[in-house]
Amino acid sequence: MSGPTPLEKPRVVLGVTGGIAAYKAVELLRQLTETGHDVTVVPTKASLQFVGAPTWAALSGKPVAADVWSQVHDVPHVRLGQSADLVVVAPATADLLARAAHGLADDLLTNVLLTARCPVVLAPAMHTEMWEHPATRANVALLRERGVLVVEPAVGRLTGADTGKGRLPEPTELADLCRQVLAGTVQDLLGRRVVVSAGGTREHLDPVRFLGNRSSGKQGYALARAAAARGAEVVLVSSAGLPDPVGVTVLRVTSALELRDAVLAEARSADAVVMAAAVADYRPAERQRHKRKKTETHTVELVQNPDVLAELVARRHEGQLLVGFAAETGDADADALVHGRDKLARKGCDLLVVNEVGETGHPTGFEGDNNAATVLASDGASYDVPLGSKDALAHVVWDLVAVRWTGRLAGTS
């Protein structure tokens, strides 16, 4: 089925099921309608116990029905799925996952899921025990096998005093994911498990001060978001303080040693590892237990941190792809790209993303929302990525990873 023309609003069906997180879907609806999407809300009867039909009708500007008997002359149980450009269900309860996996169609929403020929995104929300139950895991695996994008729940406060995995991701992140899927993001990473590192590590001198760098983590988070939108299981090892991307498992670290341990552990079962973090090269030989008092000078002995990317290369398993990042400035000896080629030869990774950085205000690299880079490949190919969003660069990186898995290498620049 073809998508909307440039003059048409993308047609989105927002399914809402009977979980307490249904209230968050109100904000998701607003996010989508305010960015130019034509949204039809299809709630289940149980969900109307949490958010009533008048709310959905008022915010969407459309009548709302939960069963197949309303507006029968329009055949909504078939028409809605056939005409949609995207179906997203948020929250998706364990019951909905089970019914969708087994093709049941006892209400309007499950009929829509059966007739939809567009991308389908399910955002589960439930208690941790329900998410981890073998029946739920089997249903999720079956749905993913069929090409449905089932995002990983977030970790956090659940109903009551419970905390754990099963929280609905934030509406802003879900809306961004929907926009990426509508933009034509292909599910070419389905069945893949990837690890991404992000942010600048901090090496503490004492309980107050640390050695660090200017990395914001934005590029690593863009890589994690893009991989999740393309269907991968994503683990993000982060030292940044950014909100968790939707559908991504986030492991928080601070120092280079903590990042190393987390990345190496997760890499054992990963199909790809992307080292976008700015890992500190050195750390203090000794961390002071108390705050250093202010004096005229301090002499701090530094020791070298492990080379995480080199360790990954040495430990890689068959079929695993490794991507490094090199923030370069160029100097009197060579420009940034020459330094990048030298680093690629030393490291032995498959791809190296080289971007030139500078002081505050530089259009690429640290802290900003945009980036430009040259991606160098171990086979000698190179790919120039013009200045654009960090999300755009992230998709180029995953494009290059995906074609190496399929053996269809793109041309060099």
Please list the active-site residues.
213
**Do 80 and 40 touch, CB atoms closer than 8 A?**
yes
Cα angle 397, 401, 402 (rounded to 5 degrees) comes to 115
CA distance readout (Å), 62 to 22, 65, 93, 253: 18, 10, 24, 46
Q: How far apart are CA 382 and CA 404, in angstroms?
A: 14
Sign of the four-CA dihedral 379, 380, 381, 386 = positive
Cα angle 377, 382, 386 (rounded to 5 degrees) comes to 125
3-state helix, strand, coil in the chain (%, to 5): 35, 25, 40
Q: Give which of 260, 382, 353 is closest to 314, Cα–Cα.
A: 260
Task: Give the orientation angle of helix 256-267 with respect to helix 308-315, to 10 degrees.
Answer: 20
Is the N-terminal amide bond of 43 cis, ω within 30° of 0?
no
